[in-house]
C-alpha cells in the first residue's frame, strides 16, 4: 500500500513537468509555412468547385451523392427540385451548411448557381425557367434562421410529391 502511495505521489509531482513541455517557449517560431495567418475563405478567391469541396463535400460527398447513413441527402440529379415548390428557393440558402458557411454572399450565390446548372449537380432537376441567385438575395435570406430543418424539408418534399416529382434524394422515408 505504501508503495502505491509513493508511486502516486511521484506521478502527481511529475505531472506539472509533463504539462509544462506542452506549453510553447515564448520565443518559439512557427512551423515553416505557418508564419502568417490563413486567408479567410471569403477572401481567398477559390473557384466554385474548390468552395464546394471545402464547404459541402464533407457531408454531401465530392460527387454530391450524399449519405443516407449520415442523414445527408443526394444533391446529384435532385437538388433543382427544391426550386419547383414554394419556399424551396429560400430553403436552399437557409440550410445551415449554406447560411453558416464561411463563404461571402457572392461566393454563396455562385456556389448555388453552380449546383443548380443543368450541366451541374442538379442535372435534369433544374427548373426550365431557373433564375440565378444574386449576392443581394443571399444576403437577405441567409440571416433568417431556419428553426426546424427536418420539418421544413419534409413539407417541401410533400409539396414535391403533390406535384408528381419523384423523390430520389437517397433518403429513406
Domain ranges of the chain: 47-162
| Angle at 156 (CA atoms; ends 117, 146), nearest 5 degrees | 90
| Angle at 59 (CA atoms; ends 98, 93), nearest 5 degrees | 15
Alpha-carbon distance 55 to 108, whole Å? 10
Q: Do the beta carbons of residue 82 and residue 156 sit within 8 Å?
A: yes
Whole-number pLDDT of residue 15: 61
The one-digit pLDDT tens for each residue of the chain (173 residues) are 677 777 776 666 666 555 555 666 777 777 777 777 778 888 888 999 999 999 999 999 999 999 888 889 999 999 999 999 999 999 999 998 899 999 999 999 999 999 999 898 999 999 999 999 999 999 999 988 899 999 999 999 999 999 999 998 888 76
pTM comes to: 0.77
CATH of domain 47-162: 1.10.760.10
Amino acid at each position: 500500500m505504501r508503495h502505491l502511495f509513493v508511486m502516486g505521489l511521484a506521478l502527481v509531482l511529475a505531472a506539472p513537468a509533463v504539462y509544462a513541455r506542452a506549453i510553447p517557449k515564448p520565443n518559439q517560431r512557427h512551423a515553416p509555412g505557418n508564419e502568417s495567418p490563413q486567408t479567410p475563405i471569403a477572401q481567398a478567391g477559390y473557384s466554385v468547385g474548390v468552395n464546394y469541396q471545402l464547404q459541402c463535400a464533407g457531408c454531401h460527398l465530392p460527387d454530391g451523392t450524399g449519405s443516407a447513413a449520415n442523414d445527408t441527402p443526394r444533391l446529384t440529379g435532385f437538388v433543382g427540385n427544391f426550386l419547383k415548390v414554394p419556399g424551396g428557393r429560400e430553403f436552399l440558402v437557409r440550410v445551415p451548411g449554406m447560411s453558416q458557411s464561411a463563404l461571402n454572399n457572392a461566393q454563396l450565390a455562385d456556389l448555388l448557381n453552380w449546383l443548380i446548372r443543368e450541366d451541374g449537380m442538379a442535372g435534369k432537376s433544374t427548373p426550365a425557367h431557373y433564375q440565378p441567385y444574386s449576392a443581394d438575395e443571399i444576403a437577405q435570406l441567409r440571416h433568417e434562421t431556419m428553426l426546424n430543418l427536418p420539418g421544413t424539408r419534409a413539407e417541401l418534399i410533400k409539396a414535391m410529391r403533390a406535384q408528381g416529382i419523384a423523390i430520389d434524394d437517397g433518403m429513406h422515408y
